[in-house]
Amino acid sequence: MGFWAKLKEKLTKKTDQIDESENILQDKDKKIDQDQNLVDELEKTTQDIKKAELKEQSKKSQEQKLEVENIKEKKVKTIKINQTKKIEKSSETLKEKKKREKQKQKDKKVEKAMLKSAFNFSQDIKKLSKKYKQADDEFFEELEDVLIRTDMGMKMVLKVSNLVRKKTKRDTSFENIKDALVESLYQAYTDNDWTNKKYRIDFKENRLNIFMLVGVNGTGKTTSLAKMANYYAQLGYKVLIAAADTFRAGATQQLEEWIKTRLNNKVDLVKANKLNADPASVVFDAIKKAKEQNYDLLLIDTAGRLQNKVNLMAELEKMNKIIQQVEKSAPHEVLLVIDATTGQNGVIQAEEFSKVADVSGIILTKMDSTSKGGIGLAIKELLNIPIKMIGVGEKVDDLLAFDIDQYIVHLSSGFMQGDEVEK
């Protein structure tokens, strides 16, 4: 079995696990129906007791009446307990079903968001497959041109190209080349872990999680922060936003509008009293409130200007000092927001921000609008900063966790599945 087939099988197993869980839920539903039958029987028993009580009322002593009352009371109590259990189980089942359905919808969104990038990449690979039956130096030159057009950067292009060469030394057929290309893309992303940065968002229970979002204006930083707030609020966590971008006019108003119209006031906000106020003072007030009122998550929006790196660095350092007075390990995430449509300019932004902040992960926005989906690979190779979330649309729930398995399968499915269909 080739690497792509194994990767696809891995994703299929994730789906199968969801389906298996649904079967378990169906069994639970059957059990609930059985419980309901029991409740019906108990209700009938209660009615029979009432009838018997009326018939025997004149004959039985007061003591016997009390005994009947006790029996009736016990039966009614049993019925109520079973009804309560049924309601609780039904509610739990519905929650689990909704959660699984949401996950399936998210998977479809990612696949749809990758269509433009996957189509162009696959078309280019298919052209190479028609032109070359085996790999030679000329083929690898053209392959590198194709990879460059995906915006994955020269360093990553050469790494992938060299990996493909090594994997196809014994078998230079195009079938083997395609599978080697998929494996090389995956390997190039996952092997480069010299800073041990976590692939997933570092959110933990029973602590105040503090996340800071940075990025230039226009990348979708504030919008991504609002969507992240919605994500955790929907999970039942208490979320607070610190509007520490006091430099851009309208930044705080944008957050207020989001909270009111899109987040249904489920998230709270701490803001400055005036424009150009000290961002660190906003962060201080937000941390104080978050600690006193037991919030689970504090999201900090920051100024997006990069042209004045000295001021930005000073601001971030001051905010970090205030945060670390409360929690030495915080901020638990410093997430750099990059617009996927900006191409190599996004790589430059990542490079510049990594000089002034300890960036722990990337939020890649507008993935549904780009035909070049390789920018995340470029950043990972150059700076070893992993993609942690991707924006796949304008809806409030269109910010999703990044999955490298999913990304590689969707990126390569056009030229890998195409042959399967033809066969």
Please tell me whether 392 is known to bind a ligand.
no
342 is in an annotated binding site: no
Read off the tokens for 13.
């197993």
Is 172 annotated as ligand-binding?
A: no
217 labelled as ligand-binding? yes
* Paired tokens of 380: 């990972």
DSSP states along 354-423: HHHS---EEEEE-GGG-S-TTHHHHHHHHH---EEEEE-SSSTT-EEE--HHHHHHHHHHHHHHHHHHH-
Task: State yes or no: 215 annotated in a binding site.
Answer: yes
Has 304 been labeled as part of a binding site? yes
Nearest to 170 by CA among 209, 141, 122, 135: 135
Is 347 annotated to bind a ligand? Reply is no
Residue 131 annotated as lining a ligand binding site: no
222 labelled ligand-binding: yes
219 is in an annotated binding site: yes
78 is annotated as contributing to ligand binding = no
CA 5 to chain centre: 25
250 backbone dihedrals φ, ψ, rounded to 5°: 100, -10
301 labeled binding residue:
yes
Q: Determine if residue 151 is labeled as part of a ligand binding site.
A: no
Contact 193, 222 (CB under 8 A): no
Cβ atoms within 10 Å of 374's Cβ, excluding its own: 24
Backbone angles phi, psi at 374, to 5 degrees: -95, 0
What is 152-214 written as a DSSP string?
A: --HHHHHHHHHHHHHHTSS--BHHHHHHHHHHHHHHHHHH--TT---SS----TTS-EEEEEE
Q: Which amino acid is at 180?
A: A
Task: Read off the DSSP letter of residue 114.
Answer: T
Distance CA 40, CA 211 (A): 52
133 has binding-site annotation = no
Q: Is 277 annotated as a binding residue?
A: no
Question: Are the CB atoms for 390 and 363 separated by under 8 Å?
Answer: yes
DSSP state of 341: G
Q: 29: annotated binding-site residue?
A: no
Chain mean position to CA 374 = 19
Count of H-run helices and E-run strands, the chain: 13, 8
Ligand-binding site membership of 145 (annotated): no
C-alpha 234, offset from chain centre: 13
* Inter-CA distances, 290 with 140, 187, 232, Å: 55, 41, 15
Binding site: what residues are annotated? Answer: 215-222, 301-305, 365-368
Q: Which residues belong to the annotated binding site for GTP?
A: 215-222, 301-305, 365-368
